[in-house]
Structure 1
Amino acid sequence: MNNLKAFKDKALSDLRKFITNYDKKTLREFFSQESPWIEKWYRQYFPDEEWAFDSKLKYNRVKLKPDVSSDIDNAIALHESLPLSRIQAVDERLWVYLSMVEYWQYTRLRWELDLKNLVDEKQQGRIRERYLVRSTKTDRPFLRNSISRLWWAVEETKDENKEDPYELTRIVLGNTDIYLNVMERSFSRNEEVIKGILELISEMGEEGLKRDTYRQIVKQVNAMGGIIMLDFMTKEDLKEAIRKDLFITQNI
């Protein structure tokens, strides 16, 4: 197994400033490179400083394929190769190292940039979310970084009690719109809610995979969250309540 490094706090701050403040020609020079460029860049601008440290974590590097259809296989392989606690898994220094260094080739191809317009706000937003980790007070940004999104998708959906432990993972990563509607919500860190929604989608078969159906399910969960404490509900209670609400809605 390999030792996993992570960005130092100052180095990560310096990187953010570099991406925000430099001209598009300089940014294009670095972001167009096929190989990781962070170490070269940092030694050029901060020759007397170290930019990374050994996190003391161990992992096996896996090959990630940079296409949407490989998200499921990528996520499973990555999660199995990277044994983290959930506390460790919300350290942006770790994920930015993985997305910008260890899996740079995957990141630049999976979340391709318009290299001619890197100072454009849309491109800057993509860099902040997919290459870095957008700074907020919630954990939601970890569901958008190119590497952490894969790990967290498995972490919150894997169920060893099922014949296929990755049954729910396949649902959430098999449809981009389901991922956006289920994982990137205020209840996204509530594993019982996530699994309850995905199990209901699975139990409903083809009907559950219809856009109007799963969006209505999520809508019902959001509405319930304004009335009751979702944290106190089991996934079975949640599914029963959603089924009841769906029946009423469909028969109005």
Structure 2
Amino acid sequence: MVKVKIPIVSQEDLDFFIASIPKNVDHYLNNDKGWAVSFLEDNGRKVRGYMEVEAVDLIYTSRNEQNENDANNAIALHKALSGKFDNAEMSAGAFWTFYALHHLEYLNRRSGLAKYKDKSAVEGEEDINSTSKAVNRIRTKYCVKWDPSMKELGDCLLPILYRVADLTYDPGREDPYELTRLAFKNSDIKLRITQTLAFFSKSVVVGILTYVYERNKAGYSVGSAEAQAICAHINAVSGNLRIDTMTSDEVYDLIVKFKEWYDKQK
């Protein structure tokens, strides 16, 4: 398993680093020590040491006991890309989220669905949606500069984490990331939701997770067979019911009606 070194610094130095990022990053990109460490040392700050972690644990693992970490990392990335990242929530294991702070200018739509021409695109970049472009920039320009092992993670996992958090973020709730945590809590639900994210609108995902949330509160579990059937049902009817224009409540009602029919087939 690939190990990644994460620098350990004081909170004071971390605050200094954060405040200085926009002006100084590009100057340090090609330094072998890593741009963050070089910048701190050049300004008389000390790196206290390094913490070695498994590279895969920084972002994602399929092991059930890591579901909470999946959710926390997805939430941290979503906050960073939305300009809402709280420094107090920073942890060594989520250090990579700093990279996201440099890419707000590439997010012309927070949903990440708008396609546009980017005259500043680097060689090899295609015309892709704004969130994918931001994720690519994080991966290729910063993660790989920090440590080549980060490329494997950025290739397939950053987009999934961001998409889950973006689709499940609900500002109307006391905890706007309540459904995000739920999406990662159950491995079966997580698998089904993430496998079909590309086809679901935000209202659909919120509807599915609200349904699961209510079932869990009532003491029932939603297993993989039911989750798979719900997803298949949503895909089958989406063309006729114009799901992209439905509210979360309408989607929720649709799922409940489907569940009633599904239970009768057993």
Normalised TM-score (structure 1): 0.54
Identity of aligned residues (%): 24
Determine which of 126, 129, 136 is the counterpart of 1:93.
136
The alignment of Structure 1 onto Structure 2 pairs a total of residues equal to 164
**Structure 1 match to 2:201:** 190
For 2:76 and 2:248, locate their aligned partners in 1 and report how far apart those are by CA, in whole Å: 27
**Structure 1 match to 2:168:** 157
Alignment RMSD, CA only? 3.0
1:71 partner amino acid: D
Higher helix share: 2
Cα pair distance change 1:244/1:212, threshold 3 Å = same
Gap runs ≥5 in structure 2: 1-17, 27-32, 35-52, 84-103, 113-129
**What does 1:1-252 align with in structure 2 at a 5 Å threshold?**
1=18, 2-3=21-22, 65-66=58-59, 68=61, 69=66, 70-82=69-81, 83=83, 84=104, 85=107, 86=110, 87=112, 88-91=130-133, 93-97=136-140, 98-102=142-146, 107=150, 127=152, 130-132=153-155, 145-185=156-196, 188=199, 190-205=201-216, 206-252=219-265
Query: What secondary structure sits across from 2:174 in the alignment?
Result: coil
2:223 partner amino acid: K
Cα pair distance change 1:189/1:90, threshold 3 Å = farther
For 1:177 and 1:99, locate their aligned partners in 2 and report how far apart those are by CA, in whole Å: 30
The alpha carbon displacement at 1:187 in A equals 5.2
Cα pair distance change 1:226/1:78, threshold 3 Å = closer
The alpha carbon displacement at 1:226 in A equals 4.2
Query: What secondary structure sits across from 2:165 in the alignment?
Result: helix
Superposed CA offset, 1:6-34 (max 9, x none) = xxxxxxxxxxxxxxxxxxxxxxxxxxxxx
For 1:202 and 1:103, locate their aligned partners in 2 and report how far apart those are by CA, in whole Å: 39
Superposed CA offset, 1:67-95 (max 9, x none) = 53111112222222333433431216314
Superposed CA offset, 1:39-74 (max 9, x none) = xxxxxxxxxxxxxxxxxxxxxxxx973553111112
Cα pair distance change 1:66/1:241, threshold 3 Å = closer
